[in-house]
Amino acid sequence: MGDNDSIYSYKCLDDKKWSEEYIKNILLNNEILRITQLEINLAKLFYEIEINDTNYDKRYHLVFEAMSIAGKLGYPTGQRQEDEEWYILYIHLPEHGQISWHMPSNKIKWDGHTTDEKYKRCREFSSSVLKK
């Protein structure tokens, strides 16, 4: 079993219901569920997102992180532009249904860069980081 599959040394937040023992003993039809570290991390992010629901600066990054993990788990994800100011991010949780968040549009306007300029900037950034 790899690091991403381990549940044995994990304690989620300070909430007793997310203790290591609770996670180990979750039952479905009298069988212990196989819970991966990615699923545990996603559950932890959902909690963080909920407690930061009105703190858009913090929630914004947490929701994107949740989308990334959900995608790695193979869960369907998507986005839809609501209007100029808002768009909606979606995750479909197997056996639980769809969840979504209204997200504020980016305050930074596109500077008109081309694809070539974009990757040049990426290379320049990477080079400057590696030189440190």
Q: What is the reported pTM?
A: 0.66
Q: Which domain holds residue 57?
A: 38-131
Tell whether 72 is covered by a domain. yes
| CA atoms of 120 and 44, how far apart (whole Å) | 36
E strand spans, the chain:
27-28, 31-32, 77-81, 86-93, 97-104
Residue 62 and residue 43 in contact, taking contact as beta carbons nearer than 8 Å: no
Tell whether 17 is covered by a domain. no
pLDDT, tens digit, for every residue of 71-113?
Answer: 999 999 999 988 878 889 999 999 999 999 998 887 788 899 9
Residue 22 has pLDDT above 70, yes or no: no
Number of domains present in the structure of the chain: 1
Tell whether 98 is covered by a domain. yes
| CA atoms of 58 and 43, how far apart (whole Å) | 17
Tell whether 12 is covered by a domain. no
